[in-house]
Amino acid sequence: MLQGARHVHIAALHAAANDAGIEIEIHELRKATDLENAQPHALVFPGGESTTMRLTGNDSASGLLPALFDWIREDSKRPVLGTCAGAILLCDPQDGGEPLVAAEIDRNAYGRQVDSFQSALDSTLLDRQFLGVFIRAPRFTKVGDSAEAVVTHENEVVGVRHDNRLALTFHPELSQDSAFHQWLLQTAKEVAE
């Protein structure tokens, strides 16, 4: 909750919970202690500005970002959804440790705000198409061996899965389609069972 499109994600998670018939509780995380208190079953890293997220999340007043990275690294089954700037943080944590999602990513690679667009995407994770909204989006430049391309746009990779971590360069929370949020909840349910 430090920066970015977080409230829309909360709405999308409620819609997904309703669509999938899964009961959820949302915890808003701003500080490392919020994570300790929440003991979540899944995480969402929203889109926004990764530079601002790094500054606020690494600041000693918060400490959230290192705490989140530790939490993810503790167990590769923990479900995580990172969208746009969130995907940048997962692929490039800049904390001296391994990437959380083994893919290389290039910020603002489509150009400026005017180059934002939406388009139909193909997803093997959903086994159907999905409307992707791209806002000053990054681009995957390489997918590592331990990761898998699961969403494409005209043969270009726009979604990568690594264990139960999913990095998307678009904004699924803006599509009125809760499928990727449902994947997160279903995965969290399976892991918890």
Write out the two tokens for 83.
């969208």
- Is 171 marked active-site? yes
- Is 84 marked active-site? yes
Residue of 56, 108, 118, 175 interacting with ligand GLN (CB under 6 A): 108
Q: Based on the number of CB atoms within 10 Å of its own CB, is 9 exposed (0-12), middle (13-18) or buried (19 or more)?
A: buried
94 versus 146: smaller Cβ distance to ligand GLN: 94
Sheet of 148-153, strands arranged across: 43-45, 80-83, 165-168, 156-162, 148-153, 117-123, 128-134
- Is 173 marked active-site? yes
Please give the Cα distance from 175 to 96 (Å, whole number): 34
The answer to whether 85 contacts ligand GLN (rule: CB under 6 A) is: yes
The answer to whether 47 contacts ligand GLN (rule: CB under 6 A) is: yes
Q: Which 48-67 positions form the footprint of ligand GLN (CB under 6 A)?
A: 48-50
Site residues for ligand GLN per CB under 6 A = 47-50, 84-85, 88, 107-108, 135-136
Q: Which residues participate in catalysis according to the annotation?
A: 84, 171, 173
